[in-house]
Structure 1
Amino acid sequence: MTAKRGRGHRVGLTREDVLHAAVRLADDEGVTAVSMRRVASELGVEAMTLYHHVAGKDALLDGMVEEVLRSARSPQPSDDWQAVLREYARTLREALLTHPALISLVATRPALTTRNQDLVEAVLTALCSHGFEPKAALDVLHSLAGFVVGHVVLDTATPDTDGSDVDASTHPLLHEAMSSGRRTARFDAALDALVTGFQATLARQPGR
């Protein structure tokens, strides 16, 4: 562990350093292990030093959500709004699978930090440029995010299976379906169905 700096000493320490340390700690020991004092210890500083970078534990937890969502790439301009949503969903899934201990934080904290709002604004801009009203676009984004979080919760809570524990003679269809064991393929199939369904939302927009 790094030698402790003096109380209040901030040279070389950034908000990103604090958030990265908190995320690493959660990855290793779970979210319950995260506290201002413990993160400070990981960084080799006094706990009070962290308050120069985050206002308190709530701000620290919000920042950790921000760090996870940072991996969900902001959409690039595209003529295909469905492609924008698919890309966002897939990168969000990847980010959550990389930090499974933080799924509960992402699911329960609004975490309306500036960077998170920037990401939401980018997705809304992409949708509104194709005819969605802002409120409808936000409903679409919330539905998509909820789908991704729920899917990842199931994936991380239950082991994948090759169908070997299902009797093919009595349950042949279930055995065949489970023998694929392809969670990503199942995710993509469900994602396609959801995103395609949003076409109905677009069709209901004023002027359509």
Structure 2
Amino acid sequence: MTRQVGGRGVRRRPTERSGRPIIEPHVIIDAALDILSTKGLKALTMAETARYLGVSSRAIYHHFPSREALLESTARHAQSKLPMPENTGDWRADLRRYRDDTFAWLDAYPSVLDIGLLEGVYVVSERMLQAQEIGLSIMGSIGYSPERAYLVYSEYVKWIAGTHMYLLRTPTGGDTQDLFDRVVVESHSAVSSSSNNYPLTAAAGTLSTNDAVEAGFDWLLDSLEHAAAARAHNAPPIIS
């Protein structure tokens, strides 16, 4: 990067100070994201980030006065890449597309939600608010008032985050086979030899993760539609 100095030529930004490399904040954040992806949240410390970059911890503290500040900046950067929903008038397709885009974002930034869930470091960025505003407009097109739209949109987002975390995310540094898949397989295996005692479980068989995700999402969309219609006609809703 270059800049004019006193109108007499160009000065380059130094890459070293006192023989030590100068690390830019965005390089530190990229390193933090890599550590999150490969080692998980607990491994993301100031010392580990410094080791990753081959610098002293002082170089990290120069830009981020605490681990909390580093976590906040890391989460904010990840949020800058949040997908944006679209309100095309086909709310089912819009919510499904946004679900898939958000799954892809969570795949690209594994463990970033843990910053808020486990560390209590929450970031509300402008991009997140913009996405929420469009999401609320989609809920409004189903028939919800702004207040009710906010509640149901929040539940929709929680479903996406929870489903990804517990069904789709590969644990960092852990077994690639999902825990819940193993439970389903083991439970089906356990009842197969005594199907007379558990006829419904035996008849249900196993369900793939993708099938479970799609079935759960269809159930969520049907519930949103039914609840909106029920409120419009003063009928008892499935969800309020």
Above 0.5 in TM-score?
Answer: yes
Matches within 5 A, 1:2-13: 5-6=16-17, 9=22, 13=24
Q: Given the alignment of the two structures, is residue 75 of structure 1 paired with residue 102 of structure 2, yes or no?
A: no
Equivalent residue number for residue 195 of structure 1: 221
Q: CA deviation at 1:187?
A: 1.0
- Structure 2 counterpart of 1:120, from 119, 132, 136: 132
Larger Rg: 2
Q: 1:118 to 1:60 in 2, by over 3 A?
A: farther
Q: Return the structure number with greater strand share.
A: 2
- Structure 2 counterpart of 1:165, from 176, 179, 189: 189
Paired AA for residue 42 in structure 2: T
Q: Return the structure number with greater helix share.
A: 1
- Structure 2 counterpart of 1:39, from 49, 60, 70: 49
Asked if the contact 1:69/1:95 (under 8 Å) is kept, the reply is no
Q: 1:24 to 1:175 in 2, by over 3 A?
A: farther
Higher RCO, 1 vs 2 (CA within 8 Å, ≥6 residues apart): 1
TM-score for the superposition, normalised by structure 2? 0.63
TM-score for the superposition, normalised by structure 1? 0.71
Instruction: Give, in whole Å, the separation in 2 of the partners of 1:124 and 1:96.
Output: 21
Give me the identity figure in percent: 22
Equivalent residue number for residue 92 of structure 1: 102
Instruction: Give, in whole Å, the separation in 1 of the partners of 2:221 and 2:65.
Output: 38
Q: Which runs of 5+ in 1 are unaligned?
A: none
SS of residue matched to 1:160: helix
Bigger shift: residues 29-38 or 130-139 = 130-139
Asked if the contact 2:136/2:149 (under 8 Å) is kept, the reply is yes
SS of residue matched to 1:75: coil
Asked if the contact 2:87/2:134 (under 8 Å) is kept, the reply is no
Q: CA deviation at 1:74?
A: 0.9
